[in-house]
Amino acid sequence: MQLSLHSRAPCATPEARAHKAPFARCASLIPALAAALCLALPAHAKPKTDPAAAQGVEADAGPHPVLDRIRSTGRIVLAHRESSVPFSYYDANKKPVGYALDLCKDVAEAVRKHLGLKSLEIVYLPVTAATRIDAITSGKADLECGATTNNAERRQKVAFTVPHYVTGTRFAVRADSPIAELPQFEKHVLMTTAGSTPFKTISMANDDRLLGIKVQAVPDNAKAMELLANGGADGFAMDDVQLYGLIAETPDPHKFKVVGKFVTVEPLAIMLSKDDAAFKKVVDDEMRHVIRSGEADKIYDHWFMAPIPPRGVTLNLPMSYLLRDSWKYPSDIVGN
C-alpha cells in the first residue's frame, strides 16, 4: 500500500478530547516502576553529554546502506502492524493508521529533507511480532512503526530511537472471569503473541515458578481477541495500552476487562537498522524535535484522547508520568 508523504489525520480538538469511552481508561503506573524503567536520566538531572548525539558526530564517516537505498529508490518503507491499536493497525478501509505511523511520517519527511529529495514515496509493509525484526535486518523495511519494546536482546540485531510510549504487560480476560493475577492462570490457557516480550517473560516465569499455565502463542492480536471472545482461551497477555485499544474496538467492550499487576515495563520505540549511523541520527534528531516542539503531544492526544477509527472510540488514556518525564530529556538510552 502506498500513500503520499504529507497525509495525516488532524490532531485532536478540545471537543474531541471531551468524548470519553465508557470502557477504556488509563491504568495507573505505580511509582516503583519508575526505577525499573531507568529511561534516559532522572528528570531533575540534565545530562552532561548526549550519547545519541555524540554517536551522530561520526555518523557520516560510516556506510549509509539505508540512506543510500532510500535515495536511489525514492521511497521509504514503513513496516506496520495490522491490529496494534492505537499504534499501528488497519482502519475500516484497510489503510494503515496509528500513533506510531504518524510519528514515522514525520521522520520520513525529515529523511526527505536530509537527502534533498523533491518527493519521497511512502510504501507500507505489514509485519507480525515474529517477522518485524527480520523486516528491518533484511532491508525489506526502513522503519518499523508499531509497539515494539526496546530491550537488550533486540538491540543486538537492530537499533531503536527515542521511546514514544511506556507501558507494561497485563492481562485481558472475559468480564465474568475470576482471574486477577498471573498465578491464577494455573491450568488455564494464557495467550500472547509469538516473538513478543510478554511471551518470553511469561514463559520464563511459568517455568521458573512452576505455575502450570498453558502458555499459547498466537500470530497476532486480532486472533488472540477472537479466541478470548469465543472461549478458546482464558486470557491474553500484552501491553495494557494495546489491550485497552483492542477491547475498545470490539462490538461489546463490556464483555472484557484488563486485570493484574504489571509483569513487565516496556519502553516502546520505532525500530530501525543498526548498520547506518547517519540514518539513525536523522531519525533521533527528528524524534527529539517533535517531542521538544510539542508536536508529539498533539499526535499523542489525537490517538489516545480523541475518537479514533474505525468505530470512533476514545481510549481516554492520558500520558503517563513515566513517558512525560522521559521526554524532558529525550534519549534512546533505556535501562534494559
Model confidence at 248: pLDDT above 50:
yes
As a whole number, mean pLDDT of residues 220-228 equals 96
Q: Do domains 2-166+266-326 and 168-265 have the same CATH topology?
A: yes
Q: pLDDT tens digits, residue range 35-86?
A: 444 444 444 444 443 444 434 434 555 689 999 999 999 999 999 999 999 9
CATH of 168-265, one of 3.30.300.30, 3.40.50.150, 3.40.190.10, 3.30.360.10: 3.40.190.10
Model confidence at 5: pLDDT above 70:
no
Contact 202, 170 (CB under 8 A): no
Contact 270, 107 (CB under 8 A): yes
**Residues near 99 by Cβ (< 8 Å), separated by ≥ 6?**
86, 87, 88, 164, 165, 299, 300, 302, 303, 304
Model confidence at 276: pLDDT above 70:
yes
Alpha-carbon gap, residue 227 to 229, rounded angstroms: 5
How large a percentage of the chain has pLDDT more than 90? 78
Contact 234, 177 (CB under 8 A): yes
Query: Exposed, middle or buried by CB within 10 Å (0-12, 13-18, 19+), for 72?
Result: exposed
* CATH assignment, 2-166+266-326: 3.40.190.10
Residue 203, SS3? helix
Cα dihedral 279, 285, 288, 293, rounded to 10, equals -130
Alpha-carbon gap, residue 242 to 171, rounded angstroms: 11
> In whole numbers, what is the pLDDT of the chain averaged over residues?
86
Query: What pTM was computed for the model?
Result: 0.76
Least confident range from 1-5, 42-46, 286-290: namely 42-46
The ranges assigned to domains in the chain are: 2-166+266-326, 168-265
So what's the pLDDT on residue 54? 38
Model confidence at 243: pLDDT above 70:
yes
